Structure 1
Amino acid sequence: MPIIGWMWYFLEIVFCKRKWDEDRKTVMQKLLNLRDYPENFWFLIHCEGTRFTEQKHQISMQVAEAKGLPKLKYHLLPRTKGFAVTVQCLRNVVSAVYDSTLNFRNNENPTLLGVLNGKKYHADLYVSDRPPNGDTSSSQKFLTFWVAPDAFQEVYYRTGAYPGVPIVPPRRPWTLLNWLFWALLLLYPLFKLLINMINSGSSLTLASFAFVIVMASVGVRWMIGVTEINKGSTYGNNDNKQKRK
């Protein structure tokens, strides 16, 4: 996808076809490249492999029942192959492994479009650490980790807070200053161009500029709309599996 796909590419996100025979080589190559990466880095992996929907959850729990695995109320069964390969490739390289569970208060349902419109969301994050070089690569061992976050989620829905003493990080002004610096630096040429157009007094020029801005806004909103859950991947649905057969 234009712009979003390019952004993901430059962020070095690993692209998968969701066919493990083909993805294994790609994933391992990308991970091995990180072993001698000169800077500190975060590697984020979403082990469920797809976003949560009621239909996918029902199918996932049917699989759990068939395999004798613990049933989860708020999560899908994790895809263990990707995590196992990650542990294998980055063993003795990463300094920590964090298991994170994110919730939004008051049943807020955040969207990129809401963020673009300036809507505020309030998030709570539960983080627990795992031994980076421990025996976490086995599927059974990894699946046991998934039971605890499900229990934390139950507590959060009942009480509105995670168990334990909450930690509120202090506000960091440097983040805001850094954003303001780059915003001013990058937007200055655009504002200068706009002022020159207004001073030119050309109706055609102003109309053309307004048309470009409107089309850019519509395009961005359309691309954001594509990322909504109800328009997202069918990966994990029975219908999708039947189509692949």
Structure 2
Amino acid sequence: MALLAYLKSLFILQLLMGFVFVVSGLIINFIQLCTCILWPINRQLYRRINCRLSYSLWSQLVMMLEWWSGTDCTLYTDQATVDKFGKEHVIIILNHNFEIDFLCGWTICERYGVLGSSKVLAKHELLKVPLIGWTWYFLEIVFCKRRWEEDRETVFAGLDRLKDYPEYMWFLLYCEGTRFTEKKHQISMQVAESKGLPKLKYHLLPRTKGFTTTMQCLKGTVTAVYDVTLNFKDNQTPTLLGIVSGKKYKADLRVKRFPVEDIPDNEQECANWLHKLYQEKDALQEQYNKEGKFPGPTIIPPRRLWTLLNFLFWATLLLSPLIKFACGVVVSGSPLLIIGFITFLIIASVAIRRLIGVTEVKKTGSSYGNQEAKKQN
């Protein structure tokens, strides 16, 4: 075990995994670009192909969580809810406290067969991020600038297009709008106080506009809302760098299903329902911090081999020529080739590090609490 942990910590292995992810992602993005010719001919075929292409990329990150890191994911829910997983269009509400919360959500999506078709209401800045934003663009992800006056038309149009999506989708909403930090929490609670809303201890005040709009636009398509509350054992603070280094975490996810019929249609009542839900989520986090677990029965969905097999396919395809080329460079003894190859490795490591930086809490910005952000609620 010590040897395995040491191997996982080696930078060269991490760099090779990053190389596989980046290069395979560029190949996948190119194939996605080529599929655009199908859009006016057969939109549903275009979507099915892009679901599988996206799966081939995102499942590499899930593989790192499940197989490389060995992180455990335990569900706190009932069997009746689990029986519906992957068999209906749903909206997912997830707390935004951790750097890898999206990855824990993805691993549940993968285990129930909806990773490739999963959706999210994403901030517009991510559209410019290579691989991530490009893949999401082809997957019809809805992007917003978090300024409702500018977002109204694009969000409504994007959501409206998803009404006839051919595969079951889980549409993720981070209703808090940004990842939790102490500074943002202080500002958020000032907003709550000014609006006469109960203060939250473990969450930011939810931005209701995104949720009410999504519910309105996807009415008749989604059949339920899954409230997911995530926390980690032993006060762990997981990071994507930790996952890449092979560090194991223990994630607990409490899932509660709400049929859409139980959620008010009226916008203000729907917003009030969301505020009440976050008060309940806050109480759940309080209980978790005291008892180290969520209430209810536990279910541990088994890992599937597909993520590992997919990564091994790309690794075999891409690393063989890379290693052969590296050996040729060393054997050649050419200073110019060696310097060029080292420069390539440095550039690759910097690029991968910047991609990881997108998930880091300290680098996630937000306008939460300023006058413009207040208007969005």
Query: Shorter-normalised TM-score: what interval?
Result: 0.7 to 0.9
Give the equivalent residue in structure 1 for 2:351: 219
- Write the distance in 2 (CA, Å) between the matches of 1:2 and 1:159: 40
Asked whether the 8 Å contact 1:55–1:237 carries over to 2, the reply is: no
Give the equivalent residue in structure 2 for 1:207: 339
User: 109-118 or 192-201, which moves further after superposition?
Assistant: 192-201
- Shift of the 95–175 alpha-carbon distance from structure 1 to 2, 3 Å rule, reads farther
- Write the distance in 2 (CA, Å) between the matches of 1:183 and 1:96: 38
Asked whether the 8 Å contact 1:84–1:136 carries over to 2, the reply is: no
Give the equivalent residue in structure 1 for 2:242: 114
- Shift of the 136–241 alpha-carbon distance from structure 1 to 2, 3 Å rule, reads closer
Asked whether the 8 Å contact 2:147–2:372 carries over to 1, the reply is: no
The structure, 1 or 2, with the larger RCO (C-alpha pairs under 8 Å, 6+ apart) is 2
TM alignment of 1:1-245, pairs within 5 A: 1-3=128-130, 4-137=132-265, 138-225=270-357, 227-238=359-370
Q: Return the letter of the residue paired with 2:289.
A: Y
What are the superposed Cα offsets for residues 180-236 of structure 1, whole Å, 9 maximum, x if unpaired?
223323433323333443444433212211210112102321343354222321321
Count of matched residue positions in the alignment of Structure 1 and Structure 2: 242
Q: Return the letter of the residue paired with 2:181.
A: T
- Write the distance in 2 (CA, Å) between the matches of 1:97 and 1:188: 45
Unaligned ranges ≥5, structure 1: none
User: 192-201 or 163-172, which moves further after superposition?
Assistant: 192-201
- Write the distance in 1 (CA, Å) between the matches of 2:365 and 2:204: 15
- Write the distance in 2 (CA, Å) between the matches of 1:110 and 1:11: 28
- Write the distance in 2 (CA, Å) between the matches of 1:226 and 1:171: 26
1:35 Cα deviation from its structure 2 partner: 0.8
- Write the distance in 2 (CA, Å) between the matches of 1:140 and 1:112: 34
User: 22-31 or 6-15, which moves further after superposition?
Assistant: 6-15
User: 89-98 or 194-203, which moves further after superposition?
Assistant: 194-203
- Write the distance in 2 (CA, Å) between the matches of 1:82 and 1:116: 32
User: 214-223 or 187-196, which moves further after superposition?
Assistant: 187-196
Aligned to 2:185, the other structure's residue is in SS state helix
1:174 Cα deviation from its structure 2 partner: 3.4
- Write the distance in 1 (CA, Å) between the matches of 2:341 and 2:129: 22
Higher strand share goes to which structure?
2
Q: Return the letter of the residue paired with 1:205.
A: L
User: 178-187 or 212-221, which moves further after superposition?
Assistant: 178-187
- Write the distance in 1 (CA, Å) between the matches of 2:332 and 2:264: 65
- Write the distance in 2 (CA, Å) between the matches of 1:241 and 1:35: 28
- Write the distance in 1 (CA, Å) between the matches of 2:304 and 2:232: 21
- Shift of the 102–11 alpha-carbon distance from structure 1 to 2, 3 Å rule, reads farther
Q: TM-score, normalised by structure 1?
A: 0.87
Q: TM-score, normalised by structure 2?
A: 0.58
- Shift of the 209–2 alpha-carbon distance from structure 1 to 2, 3 Å rule, reads farther
- Write the distance in 2 (CA, Å) between the matches of 1:164 and 1:111: 27
- Shift of the 10–190 alpha-carbon distance from structure 1 to 2, 3 Å rule, reads farther
- Shift of the 12–112 alpha-carbon distance from structure 1 to 2, 3 Å rule, reads farther
1:163 Cα deviation from its structure 2 partner: 0.9
